[in-house]
Amino acid sequence: MIDIKLIRENPELVKENIRKKFQDEKLVLVDEVAKMDAEYREIKTKADAMRGERNKLSKEIGAKMAAGEKEAAEEIKKNVGELGTKLEELEKKEEELASGIKDRMMVIPQIMDPSVPIGRDDSENVEVQRFGDPVVPDYEIPYHVDIMESLDGCDMDSSGRTSGNGFYYLAGDVARLHSSILAYARDFMINEGFTYYLPPFMIHGDVVKGVMSFKEMDNMMYKIEGEDLYLIGTSEHSMIGRFINQTLKKENIPYILTSYSPCFRKEVGAHGIEERGVYRVHQFEKQEMIIVCEPEDSPKYYDKLWQTSVKFFRSLDIPVRQLECCSGDLADLKVKSCDVEAWSPRQKKYFEVGSCSNLGDAQARRLNIRIKGENGNYFAHTLNNTVVASPRALIAYLENNYQKDGTVKIADKLVPYMGGTKVLVPAKTIKNRF
């Protein structure tokens, strides 16, 4: 949510930002807010004057009663009553206007960073740089579900019976590899200086509305029936929500945090074969990065976050690239965002494994997260980024470590988490399993 002062002082800037995001249908909201805001301030001025007059008359009533001037006091009471009726009407209008302004402000997009490339959708996102050499081996890389099934590590049929599409059973070494990647990510982030958290996996509706746009909320969140609770789609939601209605001490800034959680998402829409299997699912596990900082520091922390993701994947020898999100692909609360994509030797292209975002003061303004300053309080800036989301990261790992003989090698960094196992062998080649 932007500062309403921008609409008062520079509405054309707000409109141009909307045009760059190709959301022309929202242009009318700027004019509506400007008109309603002017009316609101006029009514508030009148209401404040009436409240002051009412307080003044109320004191006079007391004085008249104390002086024994009962008739004069009753006359003033009558005036106070008439004033109260008029004030009640103004306050009702004041409340209606405030609500209408807020509803519109909640869907007007955040002002983007000037460096954001202009484009209509994700097809116009811009590759910035690559890390590691993408390799296409001289043998075929199977579909990720086929690799896992060859290792006796995935059962999609059973999950379809128990839960439907978008769910999965992982088993044996594949399940252990999945957990090992997450455990390594946890320790990796702690070693990078982040404070580790396990957050609540459900949050109240006011937190949901504070951390994401209504469109994202409708497309993502599962609500607990009969309760004001939602399952989180990422631990960023509860981690940023932790600071709701807080005024933070300047000496405690920045908060540099990492959190683990299961995540739950509706994932509305139809997807192609490459996004089936365990790529786009309703539940997954994730290690996240979150930063709450001074406004002037958010650009440097944005770079630190996505670079940390690159460092993590490169430590597992997985080639990745940074892809800058264009204006049309940028969520309304974001100032700037990029994806980290891992190389798929099977598809011979990159696919998304994480997303890094600078949200400026958008979440802080919605959630009332302020920093106590010497010359007054001001809104903090918030950022988030994926360390690793699995099983999506598991797909990248399996494809990049699949060998010609059907085995999957285990990276040195993961061997301790795999109990010393250095290679996964197809189930059909294993004898005397039990």
Based on the domain organization, do 132 and 253 belong to the same domain?
Answer: yes
Give the β-pairing of 255-264 and 154-155: unpaired
Residue 375 dihedral angles phi and psi, to the nearest 5°: -110, 30
Based on the domain organization, do 203 and 346 belong to the same domain?
Answer: yes
CA distance 313 to 415: 16
Which token pair is 328? 């049309």
User: Is residue 113 assigned to a domain?
Assistant: no
Based on the domain organization, do 146 and 101 belong to the same domain?
Answer: no
User: Is residue 111 assigned to a domain?
Assistant: no
Which token pair is 230? 């939602």
**SS3 sequence of 288-332:** EEEEEECHHHHHHHHHHHHHHHHHHHHHCCCCEEEEECCHHHCCC
User: Is residue 283 assigned to a domain?
Assistant: yes
User: Is residue 114 assigned to a domain?
Assistant: no
User: How many domains, the chain?
Assistant: 2
- Asked if residue 386 lies in contact with residue 309, where contact means CB atoms within 8 angstroms, the answer is yes
Based on the domain organization, do 350 and 288 belong to the same domain?
Answer: yes
Q: What is the domain-level CATH number for residue 24?
A: 1.10.287
Based on the domain organization, do 197 and 60 belong to the same domain?
Answer: no
Based on the domain organization, do 398 and 330 belong to the same domain?
Answer: yes
361 Cβ contact list (under 8 Å, min separation 6) = 3, 295, 379, 380, 381, 382
Based on the domain organization, do 352 and 413 belong to the same domain?
Answer: yes
Instruction: Report the half-sphere exposure of 76 (CA within 13 A, side-chain side).
Output: 18
Based on the domain organization, do 155 and 233 belong to the same domain?
Answer: yes
Please say which residue of 53, 71, 105 terminates a domain.
105
- Give the Cβ contact number of residue 100 at 10 Å: 16
Based on the domain organization, do 188 and 84 belong to the same domain?
Answer: no
Q: Which of 353, 328, 346, 304 is nearest to 119 (CA)?
A: 328
- Give the Cβ contact number of residue 431 at 10 Å: 5
Based on the domain organization, do 271 and 347 belong to the same domain?
Answer: yes
Which token pair is 337? 């965002």
- Residue 169 β-bridge partners: 155
Mean per-residue pLDDT pooled into runs of 10, the chain (434 residues): 95 98 97 97 92 86 84 83 88 95 95 97 97 96 95 94 93 97 98 98 95 81 95 96 98 98 80 68 95 98 98 98 97 97 97 97 97 95 96 96 97 98 84 44
Q: How far is residue 197 from each of residues 205, 250, 304, measured CA to CA in Å?
A: 22, 21, 19
Q: What is the domain-level CATH number for residue 178?
A: 3.30.930.10
Based on the domain organization, do 53 and 19 belong to the same domain?
Answer: yes
In which domain, by residue range, is 40 found?
4-105
User: Is residue 117 assigned to a domain?
Assistant: no
User: Is residue 434 assigned to a domain?
Assistant: no
User: Is residue 208 assigned to a domain?
Assistant: yes
Task: Give the model's pLDDT for residue 432.
Answer: 45
Based on the domain organization, do 101 and 22 belong to the same domain?
Answer: yes
Structure pTM? 0.90
